[in-house]
Structure 1
């Protein structure tokens, strides 16, 4: 029963995170800047997680060194979100989400290069598969663009590197000893602060009063951010990080379905093949990394 619950938590986490492109593009469509979208997303989500943590009895006290570590990690996490929003603005959201899903490969490479973890033929094969998949994906969406395609792809790659750095940082720093809810809450709160500062230099942050727009804000802050992160923690506790990572494949699938159905993004045979190759490559790395 615990395993079934864990699988359901993992599926809930990845599928709700896949809703992020939908609400992001809806907010951008009503005139929001990238910084405004992310200010509301991380600000509301951090408040919700803070309230949840207090009700759960979490200790939010951090030492000076722990706080410094969390601050540095929040820079990586904020860079991930900002680069993804820029990607959504320029290329198909499903394509951006699928490229972002390659972050386990970056984690594997960083661990091999900087922490002397042993590489394997499987890891390099997975990297090759993911590159082929990314090429097919870009070709399959070549006829669709919202702006600068090159900027969109580069931004997606930046999100991969930044998120991979965040995960490695969590594993290899003092953050590993911090409660997951507390860590996520602080990271989001720092991120919201960064985005507020960025917004002040790029036109300011509006105080939203429109109820319909607030539905989009709550959509991206609650299910696509707060709920997704809390479900992720529950899934890891129940079934471990390996199986949870595999179920993360629902994230780009959800984004692709929403992109096709809501935003009329293309879905070609080449694009489908690219998605399958990337998902297969990531699954291969995740499974092999847990074997002795």
Structure 2
């Protein structure tokens, strides 16, 4: 039960870090950046730090060669931001985020259909509450484009594949944490370099302040949040991690209201309440379930 709770906390911390990312992203955009270039830098600037941490903290850990399972994890990990950021050019970011965050439901389906995992009814209910809550963050009347919707949906599918397959692949047992994140982010650098070239979004003319915000965002998300999430998935499982990670858009909305003077409506408040209710309900049910399992017969 202790490991389960630790995993939940790690995932929630990761979600908060990811959710704060738009605050720093706005600063980068104001200093000459753009979403696709920032996504490239997010991966690229993390590589030196991850390499040093790996050599310093895991000097004797065997560095296994990548196998098919790792490449499958890497593909789903790398494709997600690429698809999502392209969708931002087609539809409003709020709508794209809403579509992307149906991925917890897809995770549950994958866990059930592909990995034959049992899923308690309460998780379906919590997942439903989360999706409705995120949907309420979307402003009615935003521009809709079929290709943009498809790309956002594909980003949900690829990220669901990453979350569901990461613990099932056992790559975390063969690679040290820093090694795994280093290799995944290296894959992200390659794909996003190609994407920036094709879209003409290179923005190396950032101001010094812009580069500092970019570095802060990179180390906070591509290193800190990513590793917290990976460890959380390992401890509490893909199903719980998918639902708890919906705290990310909630954090973004709250930060926008508090720090960016964004509007707060009854619709948004209701969305926040539904997501918090889902997280609280799942936490209580999991805690009680584990406590009953630990009780002597």
Give the TM-score, by structure 2 length: 0.75
Structure 2 unmatched runs, 5+: none
Q: Mapping of 1:189-208 within 5 angstroms?
A: 189-203=186-200, 205-208=202-205
User: Aligned pair in 2 of structure 1 residues 160, 126: CA closer, same or farther (>3 Å)?
Assistant: same
1:24 aligns with 2:25: yes
2:76/2:162 contact within 8 Å kept: yes
Q: Shift in Å at residue 35 of structure 1?
A: 2.9
Q: Shift in Å at residue 116 of structure 1?
A: 2.1
1:108 aligns with 2:108: yes
User: Aligned pair in 2 of structure 1 residues 54, 112: CA closer, same or farther (>3 Å)?
Assistant: same
CA distance, structure 2, for counterparts of residue 151 and residue 284 of structure 1: 36
- Which residue is 1:268 aligned to? 265
User: Aligned pair in 2 of structure 1 residues 275, 152: CA closer, same or farther (>3 Å)?
Assistant: farther
- Which residue is 2:65 aligned to? 63
Residue deviations 1:165-224 (CA, integer Å, cap 9, x gap): 102221222524222221111101110111011112222634346211111211210123
1:277 aligns with 2:277: no
SS of the residue 1:201 aligns to: helix
2:50/2:178 contact within 8 Å kept: yes
- Which residue is 2:219 aligned to? 222
1:25/1:88 contact within 8 Å kept: no
- Which residue is 1:142 aligned to? 140
1:184 aligns with 2:187: no
User: Aligned pair in 2 of structure 1 residues 212, 148: CA closer, same or farther (>3 Å)?
Assistant: farther
CA distance, structure 2, for counterparts of residue 176 and residue 206 of structure 1: 34
CA distance, structure 2, for counterparts of residue 103 and residue 222 of structure 1: 25
CA distance, structure 1, for counterparts of residue 96 and residue 275 of structure 2: 12
User: Aligned pair in 2 of structure 1 residues 288, 57: CA closer, same or farther (>3 Å)?
Assistant: closer
1:161 aligns with 2:161: no
User: Aligned pair in 2 of structure 1 residues 155, 15: CA closer, same or farther (>3 Å)?
Assistant: same
Give the TM-score, by structure 1 length: 0.76
SS of the residue 2:182 aligns to: helix
- Which residue is 1:129 aligned to? 129
SS of the residue 2:118 aligns to: coil
- Which residue is 1:14 aligned to? 15
Q: Shift in Å at residue 84 of structure 1?
A: 4.0
- Which residue is 2:168 aligned to? 172
User: Aligned pair in 2 of structure 1 residues 161, 5: CA closer, same or farther (>3 Å)?
Assistant: closer
Structure 1 unmatched runs, 5+: none
Q: Shift in Å at residue 136 of structure 1?
A: 3.1
2:98/2:135 contact within 8 Å kept: no
Residue deviations 1:14-57 (CA, integer Å, cap 9, x gap): 32222222233333444434331111110111321121111102
Give the total of aligned pairs: 282
User: Aligned pair in 2 of structure 1 residues 110, 201: CA closer, same or farther (>3 Å)?
Assistant: same
2:104/2:243 contact within 8 Å kept: no
Q: Shift in Å at residue 163 of structure 1?
A: 1.6
SS of the residue 1:137 aligns to: coil
SS of the residue 2:262 aligns to: coil
Q: Shift in Å at residue 122 of structure 1?
A: 2.6
CA distance, structure 2, for counterparts of residue 247 and residue 188 of structure 1: 23
